[in-house]
A and B are shown apart, each in its own frame.
Chain A
Amino acid sequence: MHKQTIGGVVGILLSCLLLVFGWFFTVTLLSQNETVLLSERGTVELTPKVPNTAQGVPDDNVTAYMPATLAEIVHILHVWETQSNVVPHEPFNGQLTMEQAAATGKAWIEKCSEEATLPSFVDGAKMNAFLCANELAPDTLVPEVSPALGAIRGQQELTPYFSYWTVRFEQEGFSATLIINAATGQVWRAEIKLSTTDTKADIDIEKILSAFLRSLSLTEDEILVRDGQTASHSFGNGALLGIAETSSTADTQTINLYLTTK
């Protein structure tokens, strides 16, 4: 055979070998890489380090520790309503602990029940609580609130306010799910479900709304709208709404209380 042809054939064979060898070499590297990745261990701190706010949070069961202005409430609600990605986290400086959140929730239910003549809360109810925050994109921190409502503190100072405790109490015939701002200790949303198997409670929606808004210190004369099973108060020229809704099924009466900017 011609010398050049032999050289060509040998070259082609060697190249094919190199191509196959390259493949197996890459697979081996990938396998080693996987072993390294799967042998990695990691530790992360669950409590983010955030500097103390000016007021701080007291140790025991006290509500409304760090008041927020109307403008700030509107701003925080806007973030809650526009951000969907929720992440759980440990409470950090300036936020309620689980015990404080549970105590705040219990106290709020008792007070509301008293003022609005609802079935009272019974000790021994099962409680479940977790603290979440919306993952904030920088643009959401740009205030969209009218300056007429007041000033809004800076991002670092306001960070604890964006987290909220979801506290759920449950006992036979009664359940309540409360959204408590982790910094102010105020209940900003609540869903109360009452069993009507035995008796049906006479719910005064306006009274319940007044009790809800008083707990938020939103008691000034504002526009009240009542429409059947819904009552709402408007604040800051409509920038903030406090709403109470009731609905009922055959065996459950539901009361929804919430603040909204919509």
Chain B
Amino acid sequence: MRLFVKIVLCATLVLSAAILLSGYLLITDSYKNALLRETEHARSVYQYDKFAVQSALLSGSGAPETSSWVELAETLNGQVAFFSEDQELLYTNLPSGVDPLLPEDCAEETASHYFLQEQEKTYLSVCGKVAQGENPLYLLIASDISSVVEGRRQMIEDFGKVYFTTLIASAAVILFLTTLLVRPIRRLTTAANRMASGQYGERISTTGGDEISMLSDSFNRMAQAVEDRVEQLTQTARQKEDFVASFAHELKTPLTSVIGYADMLYQKSLSTGEVKDAAGYILSEGLRLEALSLKLMDLIVLNRQDFVLEELPASELLQHAAMGIQTLVATRGLVLHTEFAPAFVLAEFDLLKTLLLNLLDNAVKSEPKDIWLSGAVQGQQYVISVRDNGRGIPAQELTRITEAFYMVDKSRSHAQHGAGLGLALSERIALLHGDSLRFTSTLGVGTTVSLTLSCRGGETGCTSKQ
């Protein structure tokens, strides 16, 4: 059952119960009051009649003759019956069909009343004892209150008309109002269905500050989150596809060379020099494959492990990195400049050393004359920079150089056994340390890569403990 049908039915049922209860109480109360008024009036009439009978008895100094009852009854209000002291009926002008019945509780100083229903008419009878001198008698009067009963019946009939008319009219109004109220929910449902069919840009306009508007706001926020997440997942999927494609390409290239040279060695008789050259190519490409597999292993490990950052002396870490690259720097005839501010940083030693070696290795590959490795304190942070004065990186390439298998100059990278994974690995390590690599580069001038780490201790937060 639809919500608006439920609301309409429930509201109509509640309204019905309220109308019925009100009508019941109103009619009952009205009828009670009408009967009470009639009873009061009948008692008053009885009292006047009683005085009249007493006066007649007093004037006559004795019980009237039988013929006088008629005359006396005509002077009284309403229809009456007289009974002797021993409750024998003396006279009655009550309507035919009404049995003149004297109740047992009739007494001199009281007036007893009861209701009689005869021949579709209702009478209110009041009786009591009239004592005047030595001739007491009982007086009973009957008032026709059929109009009260008929009034009540008419009231119930009118109430029925009002009840059903009100219900029909109210149901129509409730239906109209409920449709208005439910309309935003329908819009919400439509939007949700569109989202389910892939239209993630679907949004709902909201007005006012009621619950439905709040729900619409929440829906819009959820839709935005879903859209962002879908976009992110799409991008990730695309990156993975690119990764796999690049990986396949990077595998294929050295393998083609290896297979080609191996085939040549297998099928041809080559001179010693040619064999040596072929073996050299096979070795070179094998080394590339090995480097590729090692870097891939590192990436997989980084994705799967939770690393614990420890408080380490920054200068010692940087010193290790500098020593690791020193041989290569010396071989190329370059100058490595170091400048480390003493401080303790939160880092994972091996990972951060790998990152620094990658950055320094890239700096060496850019064919500079000088390389600077520095560590400086900036407030509560420790900034590590690797700067070179090599070729530099084109500005349009800077945003992609941390993607896996991306190489600025593929031929040169291959010549240097590069796989395009070093900076991707470094970026992942930087993220594990709560930051990302920041590149600034100018073609022909050089490149600076910096990374910020959290540090501990000291008045500036980065005072050395060494």
Contacts and interface: CB of A to CB of B under 8 A. Distances in A.
Contacts of A44: 43, 110-111
B52 A7 contact: no
A41 B48 contact: no
A43 interface: yes
A25 B17 CA distance: 11
Contact of B39 (A18, A42, A128): A42
A38 B58 CA distance: 36
A40 B115 contact: yes
Interface in B22-61: 23-24, 27-28, 31-32, 35, 39, 43-44, 47-48, 50-52, 54-56, 58-59
B109 A33 contact: no
A12 B5 contact: yes
Nearest to A42: B113
A88 B45 CA distance: 9
B58 A22 contact: no
A42 B42 CA distance: 12
B28 A41 contact: no
Interface string B80-114: 00000000000000000000000101010111111
Contacts of B6: 11
A65 B321 CA distance: 135
A12 B171 CA distance: 11
Contacts of A226: none
Contacts of B115: 38-40
A218 interface: no
Interface string A74-94: 000000000000011110000
B160 A131 contact: no
B306 to A, nearest CB: 50
B163 A23 contact: yes
Interface string B308-329: 0000000000000000000000
Contacts of A15: 9, 12-13
B380 interface: no
A33 B28 contact: yes
A98 B131 CA distance: 11
B128 interface: yes
A18 to B, nearest CB: 6
Nearest to A167: B55
Contacts of A7: 1
A38 B128 contact: no
Nearest to B43: A44
A133 B408 CA distance: 121
Interface residues of A, number: 42
Contacts of A27: 156, 160
Contacts of B16: 18-19, 22
Contacts of A38: 115, 117, 122
A114 interface: no
Contacts of A22: 16-17, 20
B47 A88 contact: yes
B109 A26 contact: no
Contacts of B2: 4, 8
A81 B97 CA distance: 45
A129 B48 CA distance: 9
Contacts of B453: none
B181 to A, nearest CB: 18
A29 B28 CA distance: 10
A212 B57 CA distance: 29
A139 interface: no
Nearest to A129: B55
B20 A26 contact: yes
B59 A126 contact: yes
A37 B122 CA distance: 12
A188 to B, nearest CB: 19
Given A37-B31, A38-B122, A42-B112, A11 B44 contact: no
Given A23-B20, A42-B39, A98 B9 contact: no
Given A8-B1, A11-B6, A12-B5, A41 B58 contact: no
B87 to A, nearest CB: 17
A34 interface: yes
A56 to B, nearest CB: 19
A128 B110 CA distance: 21
A130 B5 contact: no
A204 interface: no
A47 interface: yes
Contact of B5 (A8, A19, A29, A90): A8
A213 B149 CA distance: 52
A73 B207 CA distance: 78
A227 B43 CA distance: 45
A90 B55 CA distance: 13
Contact of B52 (A4, A42, A128): A128
Interface in B131-185: 132, 149, 152, 156, 160, 163-164, 167
A127 interface: yes
B33 to A, nearest CB: 11
Interface string A196-210: 000000000000000
A45 interface: yes
Contacts of B12: 15, 19
Contacts of A99: 58
Contacts of A122: none
B31 A34 contact: yes
Contacts of B35: 37
B76 to A, nearest CB: 11
Given A34-B149, A34-B152, 7 more contacts: A22-B20, A25-B20, A29-B24, A30-B27, A33-B31, A43-B112, A46-B109
Interface of A: 4, 7-8, 11-12, 15, 18-19, 22-23, 25-27, 29-30, 33-34, 37-47, 87-90, 98-99, 102, 125-131
28 contacts: A4-B2, A11-B6, A19-B12, A19-B16, A22-B17, A22-B20, A23-B160, A26-B23, A26-B24, A30-B27, A30-B156, A33-B28, A38-B117, A39-B115, A40-B114, A43-B110, A43-B112, A44-B43, A45-B109, A46-B128, A87-B44, A89-B47, A98-B54, A128-B55, A129-B51, A129-B54, A130-B51, A130-B55
The 7 tightest CB contacts between A and B, nearest first, are A130-B51, A88-B47, A7-B1, A38-B115, A41-B114, A128-B55, A15-B9
